[in-house]
Structure 1
Amino acid sequence: MAQDISFSVRNNNGDALRVGAWRFEGDGSGPNVHLQAGVHADEIAGMLVLHLLMQRLKIAEAEGKLKSRVTVVPQANPLGIGQFRQGRILGRFHDATGHNFNRAFDVSAALERPSTNVQEWQKSLVQLAATADVMLDLHTDDEALPYLYVHRSFWPRGRELAAAMKMDVAIIWDDGGDGSFEETIIAPWLRDGVTARKMAATLELRGQGDVSDHFAEQDAQGLYAWLCGIGAIDEASTPADWPVESMQMSHMETHLAPQSGVLIFEKELGEVVEAGQRFARILQRPGDPASEVVLYAEQAGRMVTRYRDRLVSQGMVVAKFTGSRESRHWSGGLLDPN
């Protein structure tokens, strides 16, 4: 039976908030695994996926099939979960400080005495995952194909994970610099040169509205099968056969809104565009045809993500595409600086 290892952090008023966490011990012969969802509290899909996966892990443990110690944090961010404003959750940034919940984990983890509740929460979450050999962080994008975000050290091994999760694209990165949870966990592995027996990735489970039994059951089954494949569960598993397009992060094309206005997409997620082909337009002042601008693809590629709302402000990310060459806008660092 899973051990409840939940811990508490303080909200903005100093009251205790519970972070639900459970640990399945296994027999210790497999790699230590840490699974979490909801670091960005408005990204819900992974919470249901891990909820369903835990039921499978309980059965595997009861049947003596569980080889690994598996820690599961299905709703990692109680600070963001409480940030409802006018009927909508605003869970990417901390209300009181503007802190992106998935930035500067490295800074918080290094503090002897965190000075804010976000730092306290981040430090506790890093400590919980500190002994892991395998770490998967479940996220979602605005509207998106399912895709994997993985450091080059774990590629091409990450292809098996992407295939198991039926992910269409794997984005391979080298340098981050933002102190995300994933980057913070793998930093000592990279420093010590021990990545060969480790695995870490961020899983983008489609878009924020893609929460359903169908998708969650598919994703939980994919995770379970992959855990079997890495020896965490003693159960036969056939490697998934799924086409995964690997993409250097520098080749991704990110299109920003040149003006605010009504956003009209002319291409769907997954569609391929040619260089110079129009894919969307923005109407700044309805009633004034001259206020409309058309957005064109920088190079040939497939639409991986797009902005969820249909009223966009200037400078927001409208869409991201795969590409066959380095983007002329690439300057290093993050795929999504926000």
Structure 2
Amino acid sequence: MVRDVSFNILNNNGDAVQVGAWRFEGDGQGPKVHLQAGVHADEIAGMLVLHLLMQRLQVAESEGKLKGSVTVVPQANPLGIGQFRQGRILGRYHDATGHNFNRGFDQSAAMERPSTVVQQWQQKLVQLASSADVMLDLHTDDEALPYLYVHRSFWPRGRELAAAMKMDVAIIWDDGGDGSFEETLIAPWLRDGTTDGRMAATLELRGQGDVSDRLAQQDAEGLYAWLCGYGVIDDSVSPIDWPVEAVEMGHMETLLAPQPGVLIFEKELGDLVEEGQRFARILRRPGDPSSEVVLYAEQTGRLVTRYRDRLISQGMGVAKFTGRRLSRNWSGGLLDPN
């Protein structure tokens, strides 16, 4: 049976808006799963992936193959989805308050009476997922390889998830501190030592422009296969053999723009770049060759993410690389502190 577990929140105007959510009940013999996409409302790829996956879950449920319950929230953030400016959606931050939609979930969840619409929304989303044994949060980066972001407690068993999703990199983290959705959901598990048999991860589904039927179908099939292997669905699906590079979060190198200007990449996503090798340059004043600055890799690693636009402001993240040693710029916390 499929139940509509959608809920309403208020937007900035005080009008009710709905968070669409559906629960595929199963027969109660498997784990409880929570899948969501679009917490950052400008990250679209996962919405289509879950839309397609729901059709597979409907078939599995009708055929009696669904063992666990699966709650699906394919477009989790109605507050951000309507924030268009000059033709582009701005879904990372709430316009009215400047609140990053994927920060502060822990504080919102603990409030007796949330005081803002973002806090109200965050609290209700946490409550919907609080009973889950498995939580997967679907995101996208600017331009990126597909990669997994996972707490150390769920590694190395998270490798099977990364392989099923054909993800090239898994970034292993220990401490967050900013109350992301994933961090908030797993905090009680970590506190009580009950991570065995559970799983939580953030799935970065490439870049924001990587939305297509082909990629979404591949990702939906990967999620379905992993759910089968995890005992949620009683279906025979062959496991995928895929090489996954595991990287400590502190070993990831994030290169920032030393000046504003036209951004020209000289290396492609997935390329192995040697320490000291040039990978991009920034032209501050076109027409003035002396205004060009060349960017070099801090250490040897694969190019995992790139800044999407080709005009960059000073201080913005140009690219992220895997690394083989602790980054000299690492100071703890999240990979993307903002």
TM-score normalised over the length of structure 2: 0.99
Distance (whole Å) between structure 2 residues aligned to residue 16 and residue 325 of structure 1: 49
Q: Residue 193 of structure 1 aligns with which residue?
A: 193
Q: Residue 36 of structure 1 aligns with which residue?
A: 36
1:2 Cα offset (Å)? 1.6
Q: SS in structure 2 opposite 1:333? A: coil
1:334 Cα offset (Å)? 1.1
Q: State the number of aligned residues.
A: 338
Matched, 1:222 2:222: yes
Q: Residue 95 of structure 1 aligns with which residue?
A: 95
Distance (whole Å) between structure 2 residues aligned to residue 200 and residue 133 of structure 1: 8
Q: SS in structure 2 opposite 1:215? A: helix
Distance (whole Å) between structure 1 residues aligned to residue 162 and residue 108 of structure 2: 30
The within-5 A match list for 1:235-250 is 235-250=235-250
Q: SS in structure 2 opposite 1:214? A: helix
Matched, 1:72 2:68: no
- In structure 2, what residue type is equivalent to 1:19? V
C-alpha offsets along residues 158-180 of structure 1, whole Å, 9 cap, x if unaligned? 00000000000000000000100
Moved over 6 A (4+): none
1:125 Cα offset (Å)? 0.1
- In structure 2, what residue type is equivalent to 1:178? D
Q: SS in structure 2 opposite 1:295? A: strand
Distance (whole Å) between structure 2 residues aligned to residue 238 and residue 195 of structure 1: 26
Distance (whole Å) between structure 1 residues aligned to residue 198 and residue 166 of structure 2: 21
- In structure 1, what residue type is equivalent to 2:333? G
Q: Residue 3 of structure 1 aligns with which residue?
A: 3
The gaps in structure 2 that reach 5 residues or longer are none
C-alpha offsets along residues 114-148 of structure 1, whole Å, 9 cap, x if unaligned? 00000000000000000000000000000000000
Percent identical residues? 83
Q: SS in structure 2 opposite 1:202? A: strand
The within-5 A match list for 1:133-282 is 133-282=133-282
Distance (whole Å) between structure 2 residues aligned to residue 241 and residue 335 of structure 1: 27
1:237 Cα offset (Å)? 2.5
Distance (whole Å) between structure 2 residues aligned to residue 230 and residue 237 of structure 1: 11
Q: Residue 329 of structure 1 aligns with which residue?
A: 329
Q: SS in structure 1 opposite 2:270? A: coil
Q: Residue 104 of structure 1 aligns with which residue?
A: 104
Q: SS in structure 1 opposite 2:242? A: coil
Distance (whole Å) between structure 1 residues aligned to residue 189 and residue 213 of structure 2: 36
Distance (whole Å) between structure 2 residues aligned to residue 2 and residue 265 of structure 1: 47
- In structure 2, what residue type is equivalent to 1:62? S
1:152 Cα offset (Å)? 0.1
Q: Residue 284 of structure 1 aligns with which residue?
A: 284
1:238 Cα offset (Å)? 2.2
Q: Residue 318 of structure 1 aligns with which residue?
A: 318
1:21 Cα offset (Å)? 0.3
C-alpha offsets along residues 264-284 of structure 1, whole Å, 9 cap, x if unaligned? 000000001100000000011
Alpha-carbon RMSD across the aligned residues, in angstroms, is 0.5
- In structure 2, what residue type is equivalent to 1:279? F
